Structure 1
Amino acid sequence: MDQNTFAQRLDRLESIEAIRQLAGKYSLSLDMRDLDAHVSLFAPDIRVGREKVGRAHLKAWVDDTLRHQFTGTSHHLGQHIIEFVDADNAVGVVYSKNEHETGAEWVIMQMLYWDDYQRIDGQWYFRRRLPCYWYATDLNKPPIGDMKMRWPGREPYHGTFHDLFPSWKSFWATSPERDQLPEVAEPAPLENFLRQMRGDTPAPKIRVR
């Protein structure tokens, strides 16, 4: 095996593991309220909102959100798909099932994150995390029906769980012929599964809870 190829493959495996660790560290540091550990997972020049930049602004925003909305949280991670743009940049999708103690109610949530990762000075960081929610509701109130985002004291609203991928709307907008086999597209090229699924779909606008 070519030495350069071996080194590149080893670097790729180590990078995948480092990125997976990012997602786990994100959940643990958030749930344990270690905000210095939490914001250190993001690039030093992380953008916060439209005009603010840096970890200090991110820490202030996370502190305000956690202190005024939740007594406690627990984030449980599911599948994690990672694809590389180049040696130092990658994208990923992470499923997360979350629980929140908020006032007198216990809110459960299903969501996914669309992530952008970047390696800076040999260390992998979040460049961006885009949270896309399917539902949020009290533990004893299954979110059947429309408007599945149901936080205490707020009007229900739509999440963006399916908005990254056009296949959801396309699936329900078509009805296959029963007597004909469907066409099957060619498999996505290596490192292009997520991006082929998304096509040219823009990132949804996320409503701050």
Structure 2
Amino acid sequence: MSKSIEERIDRLESLDDIRQLVAKYSLSLDMRDLDAHVNLFAEDIRVSRELSGRSHLKAWVDDTLRHQFSGTSHHIGNHIIEFTDPDNAVGVLYSKNEHECGGEWVIMQMLYWDDYQRIDGRWYFRRRLPCYWYATDLNKPPLGDMKMRWPGREPYYGAFHDLFPSWKEFWANQPADSPEVASPAPLEAFLKTMRRDTPAPKIRVR
């Protein structure tokens, strides 16, 4: 069914609002404006199994930033957004980050799996699931397994590829002489098709 001009304009405006949302996330986090930061999330945002709300999120972010990093810079990149309805969307966002951690300069590559929701005409984060590829000192390439290597902690796996089953399938299968090609994903279901209804991975908090 074709969309009306009003629906198409609303979709374009929503796309831009969501892109602004993720940019505001990076700036407010790096500048330590925690009120601006937590107000990007839905008012009843879930923080843990027991806690929800922006005040609890602010306390958690404050503790994380104050005790782990003396400075950060988040550089956002590839961003795919798909709508489940006019007021709800999902997205994948790449992020390349730098962290000053005492005597080490830790670089990180990760992506976020996001849920966005429009509430009273404004877009918010409903959830952000961080999936990490590596974190390591600038002078120490993260070769090998367990690429999450924070100072003073045992290395661990960051689940960067776990959202999409294609990663394991690629390495488990040998290349075919004449590989079959699946039909293209529907226009609004690229991410859904790539996820193949797999559950979200359990992510270890840094």
TM-score, normalization by structure 2: 0.98
Asked if 1:85 corresponds to 2:49, the answer is no
Give how far 1:201 is off.
Answer: 1.4
Counterpart CA distance in 1 for 2:169 and 2:70 is 40
Q: Which position in structure 2 is the counterpart of 1:151?
A: 150
**1:11-22 to 2 correspondences below 5 Å:** 11-22=10-21
Equivalent residue in structure 2 for 1:198, among 176, 195, 198: 195
Give unmatched runs, 5+ long, in structure 2: none
Counterpart CA distance in 2 for 1:196 and 1:51 is 33
SS in 2 for 1:163: coil
Asked if 1:127 corresponds to 2:126, the answer is yes
The ranges of structure 1 where at least 4 consecutive aligned residues each deviate by more than 2 angstroms after the TM superposition are none
Give how far 1:200 is off.
Answer: 2.0
SS in 2 for 1:75: strand
Asked if 1:26 corresponds to 2:28, the answer is no
Counterpart CA distance in 2 for 1:176 and 1:154 is 38
Q: Which position in structure 2 is the counterpart of 1:185?
A: 182
The count of residues paired between Structure 1 and Structure 2 equals 205
**Identity among equivalent pairs (%):** 80
Supply the AA of the counterpart residue of 2:66.
Answer: R
CA RMSD of aligned residues (A): 1.0
Counterpart CA distance in 1 for 2:52 and 2:146 is 33
SS in 1 for 2:76: strand
Counterpart CA distance in 2 for 1:76 and 1:39 is 19
Counterpart CA distance in 2 for 1:46 and 1:158 is 26
SS in 1 for 2:84: strand
Q: Which position in structure 2 is the counterpart of 1:50?
A: 49
SS in 1 for 2:200: coil
Supply the AA of the counterpart residue of 1:14.
Answer: E
